[in-house]
């Protein structure tokens, strides 16, 4: 593989090019909000027209659809949904909930002209793939009558009357459309997952349906504590759909497995050797483990002289284009190795075997230490059944659980709601923007602990989103408009004051997409060498800026990206995200500007601006490589991916990562007095623990800051 050339430019050259690019970066992009405005004054027939002629494919799928268990209860469903505002529907995995129920809603004549039925999904890959399937089932072109919407990507048209969207997107839409008037029917699907956004939507929509008697709500899930849900929604009626199309045979291991990765690889190889045709889906916990396992499976196949197998990784940070490769058909047997993003909703044609080691990475949040982390933990029974349900969708299947039956029986019945284990500052900001002032009395299905709410309010207060009375400030309102963490939105809002909004837009966009650096297993050294050429002396945020500028300067060339170990798709995506963020900046008349690159203070302004958003994510050097996070006093070291080779006294970090070590990732050197400038009230508060307080006091004395 050839080495990079372009970034061997001298710093001066770089600055020159950088200037050319920053001044020519445009902000044109299609405006989804405009595209989506519903058409007014039309009849039901015009809105949902009957086709005169359907394709052969339509009839072919229709025959299959009619065999799905939900079809037996179509009339019952239509009657109940017509006569009730809220309905709870529980059906086994694969019974046809996600794909069929929205179509029944249309058949029941419940989608009023100019409005939509909206179906939420916890995951992006589910929203896009199910929308694709349903548009096929209805014989439409995807993005016309049936569309989807996920963060930073929308495929819909003025004709769209059925939209699959992530729960987070519906929540965002509710900010501009508080009564969700674009919708006649809302379906909250996969409710058992209890994601943060779904839980908030429960409370919001419960309130909206009191105000809008014409809005229908359907809450759907494969497994649901239906009694709890019925009670929450004022004793709404429940429909149960028994049965599934194809059986799934479940196998347990007789003894507990000592190493679930070894066991998973062994099982895949055994299936490949002994079982009939059919693709395999393996559930693991994270990116590295997945990539590793894919490579090991390949190696095993080769060593044993087995037929080739196509291994495909699947995890959320993989660009959506690469994710969708799992749906392609291949000559060889396909083995998809995935995190739990493939656990719900997905139908991957051809999957016959599921291998389930019984673990996933789960988010935990400790409001006391303010640490949000992902830890590997046993899954719930509900998850385990969902996983098994990925087999047997298009034909009978088998699920190999790599744990004993008695271990299965001891699993928690449901996944613990995300709201009870998350940092809530972003979601609370959205709630406040929606006018939910009395958070303590918000109708949470499971209320978060008060300390978590307090922490979130505290962060928002220091970021200037809330005033002393806890009311949303003007800055807070603008912050809530950005689909970003509050720290990043704050950084963007103040960036014109630092004369670097073009640069900050780029950094925010680059932080919002999957990793732009590629590091293939077999050429890590080359990849690392390539990355080094982009590294900025002061830290990783500026490195990201370098990469984006070089990308623009190379005219977005794919080969150049490949040669430089950069993920072309990711940077392209960042470019699109950047345009969308720039649009929000324009909306609020936040000017897009850049300083003079030849000025000594060019990078200082950018770093100061970073501090204005991230002053609560600071680490101080304790000794050598050892740092501690200010405030929470977690002992951390730099993540190996950092390009910051020095060990400065103070750094800001974008992320706290907990694996076998406590890391901070994406780092930039800063100066203490910038912290004081950014938010004196935070650093002057009396409640810091001792080590932090001593460090702050000492630095104040040394720098003469007040």
Ligand X SMILES: Nc1ncnc2c1ncn2[C@@H]1O[C@H](COP(=O)(O)OP(=O)(O)OP(=O)(O)O)[C@@H](O)[C@H]1O
* Binding interface with Mg ion (CB under 5 A): 97-98, 345
The Cα–Cα gap between 452 and 438 comes to: 15
How far apart, in Å, are the Cα atoms of 626 and each of 534, 578, 620, 695? Answer: 25, 35, 9, 15
The Cα–Cα gap between 362 and 159 comes to: 39
Q: Which of residues 349-368 bind ligand X (CB under 6 A)?
A: 349
What angle is formed at CA 256 by the lines to CA 253 and CA 262, rounded to 5 degrees? 85
Write out the two tokens for 62: 């229709």
Write out the two tokens for 65: 């659809």
Q: Which of residues 634-653 bind ligand X (CB under 6 A)?
A: none
The Cα–Cα gap between 509 and 375 comes to: 27
Q: How far is the CB of 30 from Mg ion (least distance, A)?
A: 30
Q: How far is the CB of 68 from Mg ion (least distance, A)?
A: 11
Q: How far is the CB of 136 from ligand X (least distance, A)?
A: 8
How many residues at the interface with ligand X, by CB under 6 A? 20
- Is residue 96 involved in binding ligand X (CB under 6 A)? yes
Region near ligand X per CB under 6 A, out of 92-100, 295-303, 328-336, 421-429: 92-100
Residue 13 neighbours by CB under 8 Å, 6+ apart: none
Task: Report the Cα 597 to chain-centroid distance in Å.
Answer: 35
Write out the two tokens for 513: 């997409």
Q: How far is the CB of 65 from ligand X (least distance, A)?
A: 7
Beta strands in 215-348 (DSSP E): 216-221, 238-241, 248-252, 279-283, 309-314, 333-338
Residue 118 neighbours by CB under 8 Å, 6+ apart: 163, 165, 170, 180, 182, 183, 185, 186, 187
268 touches which of Mg ion, ligand X, none (CB within 5 to 8 A by kind)? none
Three-class SS of residue 687?
coil
Region near ligand X per CB under 6 A, out of 86-94, 418-426, 512-520, 590-598: 86-94
The torsion defined by the Cα of 181, 185, 188 and 189, in degrees rounded to 10, comes to -140
Q: How crowded is the C-beta side of 321, counted as CA atoms within 13 Å?
A: 8
Question: CB–CB of 149/168 below 8 Å?
Answer: no
Question: CB–CB of 589/580 below 8 Å?
Answer: no
**Which CB, 21 or 348, lies closer to ligand X?**
348
- Is residue 97 involved in binding ligand X (CB under 6 A)? yes
Give me the phi and psi of 102, to 5 degrees please: -60, -35
Q: How far is the CB of 95 from ligand X (least distance, A)?
A: 4
- Is residue 699 involved in binding ligand X (CB under 6 A)? no
103 touches which of ligand X, Mg ion, none (CB within 5 to 8 A by kind)? none
Residue 146 neighbours by CB under 8 Å, 6+ apart: 131, 134, 135, 138, 140, 160, 161, 162, 163, 164
Could you tell me where the DSSP H helices lie in 138-286? 167-176, 196-211, 226-232, 260-274
Q: How far is the CB of 98 from Mg ion (least distance, A)?
A: 3
- Is residue 198 involved in binding ligand X (CB under 6 A)? no
Region near ligand X per CB under 6 A, out of 28-36, 339-347, 423-431, 573-581: 339-347
**Which CB, 146 or 465, lies closer to ligand X?**
146
Residue 253 neighbours by CB under 8 Å, 6+ apart: 263, 401, 402, 403, 404
Exposure class string for 114-140: b at 16+ Cβ within 10 A, else e = bbbbbbbbbbbbbbbbbbbbbbbbbbb
- Is residue 340 involved in binding ligand X (CB under 6 A)? no
Give me the phi and psi of 351, to 5 degrees please: -70, 120
Q: Binding marks (x or -) toward ligand X, 297..336, rule CB under 6 A?
A: ----------------------------------------
Q: How crowded is the C-beta side of 658, counted as CA atoms within 13 Å?
A: 15
Q: Which of 346, 340, 344 is nearest to 360 (CA)?
A: 340
- Is residue 88 involved in binding ligand X (CB under 6 A)? no
Helix, strand and coil percent figures for the chain, each rounded to 5:
45, 20, 35
Q: Binding marks (x or -) toward ligand X, 379..418, rule CB under 6 A?
A: ----------x---xx------------------------
490 touches which of ligand X, Mg ion, none (CB within 5 to 8 A by kind)? none
361 touches which of Mg ion, ligand X, none (CB within 5 to 8 A by kind)? none
Among 160, 323, 345, 543, binds ligand X (CB under 6 A): 345
- Is residue 99 involved in binding ligand X (CB under 6 A)? yes
95 touches which of ligand X, Mg ion, none (CB within 5 to 8 A by kind)? ligand X
- Is residue 347 involved in binding ligand X (CB under 6 A)? yes
- Is residue 133 involved in binding ligand X (CB under 6 A)? yes
**Which CB, 91 or 496, lies closer to ligand X?**
91
The Cα–Cα gap between 262 and 357 comes to: 10
Region near ligand X per CB under 6 A, out of 74-82, 90-98, 284-292, 531-539: 90-98
**Which CB, 98 or 570, lies closer to ligand X?**
98
- Is residue 100 involved in binding ligand X (CB under 6 A)? yes
Question: CB–CB of 287/340 below 8 Å?
Answer: no
Q: How far is the CB of 504 from ligand X (least distance, A)?
A: 40
Beta bridge partners of 89: 220, 239
How many CB atoms neighbour CB 360 within 10 A? 23
**Which CB, 65 or 112, lies closer to Mg ion?**
65
- Measured from each CB, the residue nearest to Mg ion is 98
Q: Binding marks (x or -) toward ligand X, 221..240, rule CB under 6 A?
A: -x------------------
What angle is formed at CA 482 by the lines to CA 219 and CA 25, rounded to 5 degrees? 135
Q: Binding marks (x or -) toward ligand X, 239..278, rule CB under 6 A?
A: ------x---------------------------------
Among 14, 73, 93, 360, binds ligand X (CB under 6 A): 93
91 touches which of ligand X, Mg ion, none (CB within 5 to 8 A by kind)? ligand X
**Which CB, 100 or 570, lies closer to ligand X?**
100
Q: How far is the CB of 168 from Mg ion (least distance, A)?
A: 18
Among 36, 80, 94, 267, binds ligand X (CB under 6 A): 94
Region near ligand X per CB under 6 A, out of 95-103, 205-213, 373-381, 546-554: 95-103
Give me the phi and psi of 491, to 5 degrees please: -60, -40
657 touches which of ligand X, Mg ion, none (CB within 5 to 8 A by kind)? none
Q: How far is the CB of 99 from Mg ion (least distance, A)?
A: 7
Q: Which residues of the chain form contacts with ligand X (CB under 6 A)?
A: 68, 91, 93-100, 133, 222, 245, 344-345, 347, 349, 389, 393-394
């Amino acid at each position: 593989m050839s080495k990079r050339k372009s970034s061997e430019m001298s710093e001066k050259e770089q600055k020159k090019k950088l200037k050319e690019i920053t001044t020519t970066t445009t902000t044109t992009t299609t405006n989804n909000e405009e595209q989506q405005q519903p058409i007014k004054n039309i009849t039901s027939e015009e809105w949902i027209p009957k086709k005169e002629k359907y394709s052969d494919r339509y009839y072919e799928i229709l025959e299959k659809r009619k065999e799905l268990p939900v079809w037996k209860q179509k009339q019952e469903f239509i009657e109940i949904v017509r006569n009730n505002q809220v309905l709870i529907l529980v059906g086994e995995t694969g019974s046809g909930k996600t794909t069929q129920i929205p179509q029944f809603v249309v058949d029941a004549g419940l989608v009023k002209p100019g409005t939509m039925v909206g179906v939420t999904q916890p995951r992006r890959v589910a929203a896009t793939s199910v929308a694709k399937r349903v548009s096929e089932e209805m014989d439409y072109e995807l993005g016309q009558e049936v569309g989807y919407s996920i963060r930073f990507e929308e495929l819909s048209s003025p004709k769209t009357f059925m939209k699959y969207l992530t729960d987070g997107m519906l929540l965002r839409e509710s900010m501009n459309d508080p009564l969700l008037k674009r919708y006649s029917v809302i379906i909250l699907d996969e409710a058992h997952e209890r994601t943060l956004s779904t839980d908030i939507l429960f409370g919001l929509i419960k309130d909206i349906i009191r105000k809008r008697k014409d809005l229908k709500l359907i809450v759907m899930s494969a497994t649901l504590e239906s009694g709890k849900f019925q009670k929450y929604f004022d004793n709404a009626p429940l429909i149960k759909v028994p049965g599934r199309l194809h059986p799934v045979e479940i196998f347990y291991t007789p003894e507990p497995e000592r190493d679930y990765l070894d066991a998973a690889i062994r099982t895949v190889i055994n299936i490949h050797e002994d079982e009939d045709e059919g693709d395999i889906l393996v559930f693991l916990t994270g990116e590295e483990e997945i990539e590793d396992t894919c490579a090991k499976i390949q190696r095993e196949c080769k060593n044993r002289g087995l037929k080739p197998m196509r291994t495909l990784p699947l995890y959320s940070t993989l660009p959506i284009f690469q994710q969708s490769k799992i749906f392609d058909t291949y000559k060889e047997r396909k083995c998809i190795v995935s995190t739990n993003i493939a656990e719900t909703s997905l139908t991957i044609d051809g999957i016959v075997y599921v291998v389930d080691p019984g673990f996933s990475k789960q988010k935990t949040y400790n409001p006391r230490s303010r640490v949000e982390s992902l830890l590997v933990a046993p899954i719930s029974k509900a998850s385990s059944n969902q996983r098994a349900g990925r087999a047997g969708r298009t034909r009978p299947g088998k699920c190999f659980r790599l744990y004993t039956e008695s271990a299965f029986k001891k699993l928690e019945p449901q996944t613990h709601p995300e709201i009870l284990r998350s940092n809530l500052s972003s979601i609370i900001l959205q709630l406040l923007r929606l006018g939910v002032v009395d958070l303590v009395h918000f109708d949470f299905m499971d209320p978060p602990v008060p300390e978590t709410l307090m922490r979130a309010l505290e962060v928002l207060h220091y970021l200037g989103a809330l005033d002393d009375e806890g009311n949303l400030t003007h800055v807070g309102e603008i912050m809530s408009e950005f689909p970003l963490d509050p720290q990043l939105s704050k950084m963007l809002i103040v960036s014109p004051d630092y004369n670097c909004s073009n640069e900050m837009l780029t950094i925010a966009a680059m932080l919002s997409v999957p990793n732009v650096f590629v590091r293939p297993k077999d050429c890590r050294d080359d990849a690392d060498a390539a990355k080094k050429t982009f590294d900025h002396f002061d830290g990783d945020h500026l490195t990201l800026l370098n990469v984006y500028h070089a990308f623009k300067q190379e005219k977005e060339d794919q080969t150049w990206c490949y040669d430089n170990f950069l993920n072309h798709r990711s940077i392209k995506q960042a470019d699109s995200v950047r345009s969308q963020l720039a649009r929000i900046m324009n909306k609020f008349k936040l000017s897009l500007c850049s300083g003079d690159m030849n000025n000594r203070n060019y990078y200082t302004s950018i770093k100061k601006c970073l501090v204005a958003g991230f002053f609560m994510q600071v680490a101080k050097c304790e000794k050598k490589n050892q740092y501690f996070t200010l405030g929470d006093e977690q002992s951390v070291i730099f993540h190996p991916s950092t390009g910051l080779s020095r060990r400065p006294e103070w750094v800001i970090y974008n992320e706290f990562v907990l694996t076998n070590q406590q890391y901070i990732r994406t780092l930039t050197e800063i100066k203490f007095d910038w912290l004081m400038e950014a938010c004196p009230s935070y650093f002057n508060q009396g409640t810091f623990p001792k080590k932090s307080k001593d460090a702050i006091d000492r630095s104040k004395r040394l720098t003469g800051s007040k």
